[in-house]
Structure 1
């Protein structure tokens, strides 16, 4: 069953809309050294994550420079899951996991499969994305889904597919890569940081409809 994450929430009504249409996970971005219309300060992130109801996963998405920075932000925002982007070593991730009690998702670039392999035994889940030079996501660019599908079959960690996903292509992406989950941010927005509720509804529905079309491995 392909899980669906909608990322980059900055408003309570967007969180509520994504939950209402059946998103499995709600992403909130904070603590990133890049200019993003989806990023909020830690206090705001804590408020938004607190509004995620039971049985839906609240995910803090961040780009820490050190394990200590990641741990402090988790303590301040209290997410269900931590998602780390940017240059982070496997040993850094191990240090974070030794301290926090949440599962950790590590973002890796689709063009660097060796990075995914390096984190495979450390991360709880890997997010394969089309990142920019800083390692940030939200670029709106797709990548080779069939190649990512090869990683899905090779790696032990569950793989979330991200990068340029929209209501119009998410079903094809799932059929090509057969991921554990899919993740959209800019592809379901009316403008930067503002979710298009109809697009979110279509994205979730089409991802759910695609589940039955994916052949069992």
Structure 2
């Protein structure tokens, strides 16, 4: 969880075009996410070659994050070796030993967990670099555009040492309230800052970053 007075970090996810990557960087995002090799239909997925090109353009000190869904750690390791991200984000409930193997490939590991599976996530302590709590669909995928019970998420993650990243239905209009309720290390947004599926709205990205990182001040800003 966030320490008192600590700036909340922001990840802009589901980027599909160089212009959107550049826009997220200009807006002050701490991390950008590119999605590849997922078994669900999403307008935010790109092929591994484009993923590599998009992440190669991310400047230093901004985490270039590869987002994928796989039950096989070897597949994740292969993607890390081929694309070379700073971090890889996987979804589901992998064996903790698999997490350690993926981390050994040289990228930070972010594990995305659905809100229906928060029990027992403490077993990933020390085996992942951050835990993302997301709203998921029946296939276990995020990007639903739906929020979840932030109070429950706060209670379920309060004792964790691993950084907690809040995702699921966040927008420029609700991110301030979300940050104040959960006090996460970071927030993660995809569809909530789009002008159309798969394309980011620069103004929405800028507003999201501004309101997420300034959530400790300016009471009520997230409701405007």
What interval of TM-score do these two structures reach, taking the shorter chain for normalisation? over 0.9
Per the alignment, residue 34 of structure 1 pairs with 40
- The alignment yields a C-alpha RMSD, in angstroms, of 1.5
Query: Any idea what the Cα deviations from partners look like across 1:56-77, whole Å, max 9, x if unmatched?
Result: 1110001123111000011111
**Residue 110 of structure 1, CA deviation:** 1.4
Query: Any idea what the Cα deviations from partners look like across 1:134-184, whole Å, max 9, x if unmatched?
Result: 221100010111111123321111100000000000000000000000000
Alignment gaps of 5+ in structure 2: 1-6, 220-224
**Residue 119 of structure 1, CA deviation:** 2.0
**Residue 111 of structure 1, CA deviation:** 2.3
> Which of 164, 168, 182 pairs up with 1:163?
168
Greater relative contact order (Cα < 8 A, sep 6+): 2
Per the alignment, residue 105 of structure 1 pairs with 110
Tell which deviates more after alignment, 144-153 or 195-204. Answer: 144-153
Alignment gaps of 5+ in structure 1: none
> Which of 148, 153, 178 pairs up with 1:148?
153
Query: Normalization by structure 1: what TM-score?
Result: 0.94
**Residue 209 of structure 1, CA deviation:** 1.4
Per the alignment, residue 82 of structure 2 pairs with 76
Query: Any idea what the Cα deviations from partners look like across 1:187-212, whole Å, max 9, x if unmatched?
Result: 00011110011111110011111034
Per the alignment, residue 208 of structure 1 pairs with 213
Query: Normalization by structure 2: what TM-score?
Result: 0.91
Per the alignment, residue 138 of structure 2 pairs with 133
Per the alignment, residue 8 of structure 1 pairs with 14
How many positions carry a matched residue from both structures? Answer: 213
